[in-house]
Chain A
Amino acid sequence: MSMTATAGRAHADPHHIGLVIEHPGPAPKRIVTAYGFWVFLLSDIVMFSCFFAAYAVLADQTAGGPKGSEIFEQRNVAIETVCLLLSSFTCGMASIAADVRNRFWFYLGMAVTCLLGLIFLVIEFREFADLVARGYGPSRSAFLTSFFSLVGCHGLHVSAGTLWLLTMMAQVFAKGFRADVLRRMMCFALFWHALDIVWVGVFSVVYLLGSGV
């Protein structure tokens, strides 16, 4: 059947000589959902890149306030990074558990992911609160403005992710591993890993480069 269609096509269109691979039709829902979410993640990364760009432009504009090397605490940043990287691993475990329909490991994986996310958020919040208390809030200088915004934007994403994570656990609890719940779980996992990738950028551009100067 497809051979005849191909032959007819090749005849009608002089640019297509030989075999034409026929498009098989609409993709299954799982593919469509994941694909759409990938596209969303790309757009989200574009948004982050604006904050990165703003940071790069404003990083030297300290307006007499502190420089990065004077306020960054590498120990905290290291713990934060370890938390996030580990949470990506546990999130992966939860995804595998969902794929094999194992509730126990799913809940465990998600719970540990949540815990690590919360530890990250608490450390970040304390860092921010400490800076504000020392008079180095975002209004102090354009550098601090861009620092708080970039890191805070990532933190907001992690907060939203945590909320989503809890919702996913509740969904699995109430609805089980239904096809639509699994699709959402896949999107959540993509989201969580993407935040990790963004953090690698934040870690490198803000903390590593900033500590040296």
Chain B
Amino acid sequence: MLGKLDWSAIPFDQPIPLIAGAVVLVGILAVLAWVVVKGHLPYLWHEWITSVDHKRIGVMYILLASVMLLRGGSDAIMMRIQQAVAYQSQGYLPPEHYNQIFSAHGTIMIFFVAMPFVIGLMNLIVPLQLGVRDVAFPTLNSVGFWLTATGALLVNLSLVIGEFARTGWLAFPPLSELSYSPGVGVDYYAWSLQISGVGTLVAGINLVTTVLKLRTKGMNYLRMPMFCWTTLASNLLIVAAFPILTATLAMLLLDRYLGFHFFTNEAGGNVMMFMNLIWAWGHPEVYILVLPAFGIFSEVVSTFSGKALFGYRSMVLATMAICVISFMVWLHHFFTMGAGPDVNAIFGIASMIIAIPTGVKIYNWLFTMYGGRIRFETPMLWSIGFMVTFIIGGLTGVLVAVPPADFILHNSMFLVAHFHNVIIGGVLFGAFAGFEYWFPKAFGFRLDERWGKLAFWFTFLGFYVTFIPLYVAGMLGMTRRMQHYDVAAWRPWMLVAAAGMAVLTIGVICQIVQLVVSIRNREALRDRTGDPWDGRSLEWATSSPPPVFNFAFNPDVRGEDAYWDMKARAQQQSLEHGGPEYQDIEMPRNSPTGFVCAFFATIMGFALIWHIWWMVILGGIGAFATFVVFAWRDHDEYVIPAEEVAAIDRVNLEERRSLVSMAGTV
């Protein structure tokens, strides 16, 4: 009846996951109870859960990422403490639990923190920057988000029902095959990623189509803000790379469920095929994450330097070069496979070549700052912190791109330090910069500067104190994923890293405090003009938060830095729109399709993990029925009458006129 599921799945003998799970459960129930008692449920349902508004979906993505950041961060804290204490002892985490923690940490941080964070920011901002009213496929957008949330839910469910994978975040066979991992851990891993992977693919298709097909009048390719370009590159990579992940995990699942022999040791299976396939997705994935971050830094550096981005065209070229080359370097993840010196040399050189367009970007940002009137506000601090940190991470990357060096450093703590250096220093700093920069746009008030700067400095310093020691430990021969060790030389570095983790944690706490303080002081921090930073692109040309239709009129773009241009012209002419005639606007209607679809996907995923076959069929039928019902509806749009549009727009125009008279100098 319930497949492999019985009471032994609940880890009554392990206090840590049980208590953590209980706390989370109580937290969720408390929030739910509060929502229901306060009568917020209808609001939540109509305005958020069923929303197909790209801005709301973007905010929900970022919320999901933030919550998951706390979960992934807790795993990180536990690992740092374990390695600090487990010198000539077992520490406090038994091996099977420690293995689950490092696997969950990687899986969560990449798939449910970094991905939703950047996809959320792209969703929130790209249609605004392109001057359009929504993404190409609003309902699918909602489906994509909720499927991502399903994946996150399943991963977290494994904390209390069953177990998570003990195989590392990429579940390499043969360890992840049934003979070595008979439990449900790998199944939790694979099905979560399959479901959220579909969500990511949907988001990718949606954003590619949006950038290529939905741009406002005059928004030629070479007038798009840099963030739109990097969004395009990143989502092209999603479309090209995520199907590889889906196929690879499908093969692994076929091996596990139906006794296939893709990656087994027996019957001619080929383990190295898994390495090639997974990294053919995995390396582009790195750039899927970091390219949007590059876009964010481009926007931030240009805005806070008060200058147009230096070398816009070379930036576009560099972005697209990275997009292409990122598909040609995957083998550098396993130089030790034994492919021979020629193959290794080619992939080593390709890996070094990719540093060139990245270097171009760094110089462009530096030259954008050169001669500018730089305002060191929080988003700018994150950007400068990024430049310093990312260069170090990039240089160690070029070092391990040299095959002979990689043979020594492969699988060591040096590698761990390297990829944290680029992912935290690149993606996470970028996500935080974007968060600080666009928060006023999303919610209509700024974040508190003082706490924001504290958060930056603690995170920045904490990062170095945590990860520089890991480089050293790697150089001293420490391999990654060690549950305990006996080498005295490593011990001090592990202690320093643990201390660094504490500093990092203070940084995270500062960000939470910043959010609370800012919400409390929101009236004082209110952004009335919609343009709090003296911005340059079209998202600043509408109110904060923008109306559901984004723009009362499709903006007419005449050049790069569209809004800066408009401000300059408006100052000369001392008016923004000459007697506009408002028109009715058609917007897509909200739809529960995404949520219902994810509900059935959750049921199906859970049933597949536990081999509850009747429930799998039920979930499948439900998902299909959801689509049919969606396809059957007669009205998928509603009309906002012109008077309403006019009323909303005029309020914002008044505020903006007063701003325009002061700013916008060329």
Q: A142-172: contact bitstring with B at CB < 8 Å (1 yes, 0 no)?
A: 1101101100000000000001000100010
Is A73 an interface residue when CB atoms closer than 8 A count as contact? no
Is A209 an interface residue when CB atoms closer than 8 A count as contact? no
Selected contact of A25 from candidates B205, B554, B636, CB within 8 Å: B554
For B247, the chain A residues whose CB sits under 8 A away are 47, 50-51, 54
Alpha-carbon distance between A146 and B264 when the two chains are bound, in angstroms: 13
Q: How far is the CB of B129 from chain A (nearest CB, A)?
A: 14
Alpha-carbon distance between A70 and B267 when the two chains are bound, in angstroms: 18
For B254, the chain A residues whose CB sits under 8 A away are 138, 145, 149
Alpha-carbon distance between A171 and B221 when the two chains are bound, in angstroms: 38
B273 and A26: CB pair below 8 A?
Answer: no
Q: Which partner residue on chain A sits nearest B223 by CB separation? A: A23
A15 and B313: CB pair below 8 A?
Answer: yes
Which one of A37-45, A82-90, A95-103, A115-123 is at the B interface? Answer: A37-45
A39 and B273: CB pair below 8 A?
Answer: no
Interface residues of A in 28-74 (CB under 8 A from B): 31-33, 35-36, 39-40, 42-44, 46-47, 50-51, 53-54, 57-58, 61-63
B258 and A138: CB pair below 8 A?
Answer: yes
Is B472 an interface residue when CB atoms closer than 8 A count as contact? no
**Chain B contact residue count (CB 8 A cutoff):** 56
A47 and B243: CB pair below 8 A?
Answer: yes
B268 and A142: CB pair below 8 A?
Answer: yes
Alpha-carbon distance between A44 and B242 when the two chains are bound, in angstroms: 10
Question: Known contacts A5-B558, A39-B208, A141-B268; is A32 also within 8 Å of B213 by CB?
Answer: yes
B558 and A9: CB pair below 8 A?
Answer: yes
B246 and A47: CB pair below 8 A?
Answer: yes
Across the A-B interface, give the 6 residue pairs with the lowest CB-CB distance, nearest first: A61-B268, A142-B268, A50-B247, A47-B243, A139-B259, A25-B217
For B558, the chain A residues whose CB sits under 8 A away are 5, 8-9, 12
Alpha-carbon distance between A137 and B624 when the two chains are bound, in angstroms: 30
Q: B195-230: contact bitstring with A at CB < 8 Å (1 yes, 0 no)?
A: 000000100111011001111111111000000000
Is A193 an interface residue when CB atoms closer than 8 A count as contact? no
Alpha-carbon distance between A13 and B137 when the two chains are bound, in angstroms: 34
Alpha-carbon distance between A40 and B212 when the two chains are bound, in angstroms: 14
A44 and B243: CB pair below 8 A?
Answer: yes
A184 and B631: CB pair below 8 A?
Answer: yes
Question: Known contacts A36-B205, A61-B269, A149-B251; is A43 also within 8 Å of B559 by CB?
Answer: no
Q: How far is the CB of A155 from chain B (nearest CB, A)?
A: 14
Is B411 an interface residue when CB atoms closer than 8 A count as contact? no
Selected contact of A140 from candidates B214, B246, B267, CB within 8 Å: B267
Selected contact of B631 from candidates A20, A42, A171, CB within 8 Å: A171
Q: Which partner residue on chain A sits nearest B224 by CB separation? A: A23
Is B136 an interface residue when CB atoms closer than 8 A count as contact? yes
A167 and B631: CB pair below 8 A?
Answer: yes
Q: How far is the CB of B444 from chain A (nearest CB, A)?
A: 26
A139 and B261: CB pair below 8 A?
Answer: yes
Q: How far is the CB of B322 from chain A (nearest CB, A)?
A: 19
Q: How far is the CB of B271 from chain A (nearest CB, A)?
A: 11
Selected contact of A50 from candidates B218, B243, B261, B266, CB within 8 Å: B243
Interchain pairs with CB closer than 8 A, number: 154
Alpha-carbon distance between A175 and B633 when the two chains are bound, in angstroms: 10
Q: Which partner residue on chain B sits nearest A144 by CB separation? A: B261
Alpha-carbon distance between A23 and B206 when the two chains are bound, in angstroms: 20
Question: Known contacts A47-B244, A51-B247; is A139 also within 8 Å of B258 by CB?
Answer: yes
Question: Known contacts A46-B244, A50-B277; is A35 also within 8 Å of B212 by CB?
Answer: yes
Interface residues of B in 604-628 (CB under 8 A from A): 624, 628
Q: How far is the CB of A124 from chain B (nearest CB, A)?
A: 17
For A163, the chain B residues whose CB sits under 8 A away are 624
Is B60 an interface residue when CB atoms closer than 8 A count as contact? no
For A130, the chain B residues whose CB sits under 8 A away are none
B244 and A13: CB pair below 8 A?
Answer: no
Alpha-carbon distance between A58 and B270 when the two chains are bound, in angstroms: 8
A26 and B270: CB pair below 8 A?
Answer: no
**Chain A contact residue count (CB 8 A cutoff):** 52
Q: Which partner residue on chain B sits nearest A21 by CB separation? A: B220
Is A212 an interface residue when CB atoms closer than 8 A count as contact? no
B205 and A46: CB pair below 8 A?
Answer: no
Selected contact of B269 from candidates A26, A35, A62, A145, CB within 8 Å: A145
Question: Known contacts A32-B136, A50-B247; is A142 also within 8 Å of B214 by CB?
Answer: no
Q: B395-411: contact bitstring with A at CB < 8 Å (1 yes, 0 no)?
A: 00000000000000000
Q: Which partner residue on chain A sits nearest B132 by CB separation? A: A26
Most chain B beta-carbon contacts within 10 A, residue among A51, A54, A145, A171 = A145
Alpha-carbon distance between A149 and B204 when the two chains are bound, in angstroms: 26
Interface residues of B in 277-299 (CB under 8 A from A): 277
Chosen A-B contacts, 29 in total, with CB atoms closer than 8 Å, are: A5-B556, A8-B559, A9-B559, A24-B217, A25-B215, A32-B136, A35-B213, A39-B205, A39-B208, A40-B201, A40-B205, A43-B204, A44-B243, A46-B241, A47-B243, A61-B269, A61-B270, A63-B261, A63-B267, A139-B261, A141-B268, A142-B262, A142-B267, A145-B260, A145-B269, A167-B628, A171-B631, A180-B636, A184-B631
B261 and A145: CB pair below 8 A?
Answer: yes
Alpha-carbon distance between A174 and B628 when the two chains are bound, in angstroms: 12
Alpha-carbon distance between A174 and B259 when the two chains are bound, in angstroms: 44
Most chain B beta-carbon contacts within 10 A, residue among A15, A25, A61 = A25
B258 and A36: CB pair below 8 A?
Answer: no
For A20, the chain B residues whose CB sits under 8 A away are 220
A25 and B206: CB pair below 8 A?
Answer: no
Q: Which partner residue on chain A sits nearest B281 by CB separation? A: A50
Is B248 an interface residue when CB atoms closer than 8 A count as contact? yes
For B217, the chain A residues whose CB sits under 8 A away are 22-25
Q: How far is the CB of B486 from chain A (nearest CB, A)?
A: 41
Is A27 an interface residue when CB atoms closer than 8 A count as contact? yes
Q: How far is the CB of A43 from chain B (nearest CB, A)?
A: 5
With A33-B137, A58-B262 known, 13 other A-B pairs at CB within 8 A are A22-B218, A23-B220, A27-B214, A32-B209, A35-B209, A35-B212, A36-B136, A43-B242, A61-B269, A142-B261, A145-B269, A149-B262, A184-B631
Alpha-carbon distance between A135 and B324 when the two chains are bound, in angstroms: 45
A174 and B216: CB pair below 8 A?
Answer: no
Is B239 an interface residue when CB atoms closer than 8 A count as contact? yes
Is B75 an interface residue when CB atoms closer than 8 A count as contact? no
Question: Known contacts A13-B560, A36-B206, A138-B258; is A25 also within 8 Å of B243 by CB?
Answer: no
Q: Which partner residue on chain B sits nearest A45 by CB separation? A: B243
B268 and A43: CB pair below 8 A?
Answer: no
Q: Which partner residue on chain B sits nearest A170 by CB separation? A: B628
Alpha-carbon distance between A171 and B624 when the two chains are bound, in angstroms: 15
For A57, the chain B residues whose CB sits under 8 A away are 270, 273
For A22, the chain B residues whose CB sits under 8 A away are 217-218, 220
